[in-house]
Amino acid sequence: MPDVKMAEAATKSTSAEVLSVSDLQAWYGESHILHGINFNVKAGEVVTLLGRNGAGKTTTLKSVMGIIGKRSGSIRFNNEEIIRASSDRIARMGIAFCPEERGIFASLDVRENLLLPPVVRSGGLSLDQIFELFPNLKERLNSQGTKLSGGEQQMLAIARILRTGARFLMLDEPTEGLAPVIIQQIGHTISRLKSEGFTILLVEQNFRFASTVADRYYIVEHGKVIDGFANAELSANMDKLHTYLGV
């Protein structure tokens, strides 16, 4: 397999590393899921983890967030080791996680869902700024979570973490099951957040969507990163992507 470190060296970004993951191992009970994950994310980047279902992408995000009980290796955030840190401490350091299942509280309306997470750091987006990004949410402010479409729920899930003050966002399959027009809006939002200084780690199976927002990619297979390349190298790697992803 290609050397991922060589792939990283080929990228031209000189930004400082915000997240560095080395030899990350993780287990669900007795099931060994991650087998030595290695990757990094630099300040202001959108980095995408690609791979088939069950490859270990979501487990990687959960491990960074500290919500996997058994893990080993190294996770460094802003040059501080966090492999043993609790999830609440990790959140207060400025990392936010938007899960694939979105986690919208059905019994709460949009406003209540938005205001539920605590502000952990200064610099979070105001409600007016959030409504500028997601005007649909302002129109549905008093609607219960159960009344929202899938696209509106995804907007709400992303909007909710933007209030917290976190500047490192982890988004798990944000486009899954959404209509093309909503996927396009999510893409514009990610690009806007990047332009405003957010750093984003994205899990996606839809590499066509990822190609519109990502700076770099890592391919995850059987709990390991097996390849990595920059967006500028996407065309040259399409044959390998078809093989890796089965598309």
The range of the structural domain enclosing residue 202 comes to 4-102+165-245
SS3 call for 217? strand
Q: Is residue 9 part of a domain?
A: yes
Q: Is residue 116 part of a domain?
A: no
Q: Is residue 48 part of a domain?
A: yes
CB-CB contact of 105 with 147 (8 Å): no
Q: Is residue 146 part of a domain?
A: no
Q: What is residue 118's DSSP assignment? A: P
Q: Is residue 11 part of a domain?
A: yes
- What tens digit of pLDDT does each residue of 126-159 get? 999 999 999 999 999 999 987 899 999 999 999 9
Q: Is residue 210 part of a domain?
A: yes
Predicted local confidence at residue 244, as pLDDT: 87
Give me the number of domains the chain comprises. Answer: 1
Q: Is residue 60 part of a domain?
A: yes
Q: What is the value of pTM for the model shown? A: 0.91
Per the prediction, the chain carries an average pLDDT of 91
| CA–CA gap between residue 243 and residue 20 (Å, rounded) | 27
Residue (of 197, 111, 114, 194) closest to 162 by Cα position: 114
Residue (of 245, 190, 160, 228) closest to 11 by Cα position: 228
pLDDT band at 10 (very low <50, low <70, confident <90, very high): very low
- What tens digit of pLDDT does each residue of 67-102 get? 998 999 999 999 999 999 999 999 999 999 999 888
User: What's the CATH number where 230 sits?
Assistant: 3.40.50.300
pLDDT reading at 64 higher than 90: yes
- What tens digit of pLDDT does each residue of 19-57 get? 999 999 999 999 999 999 999 999 999 999 999 999 999
Q: Is residue 107 part of a domain?
A: no
Burial letters for 149-175: b for 16+ Cβ neighbours within 10 Å, e otherwise?
eebbbbbbbbbbbbbbbbbbbbbbbbb
Dihedral through CA 21, CA 53, CA 180, CA 152, nearest 10? -70
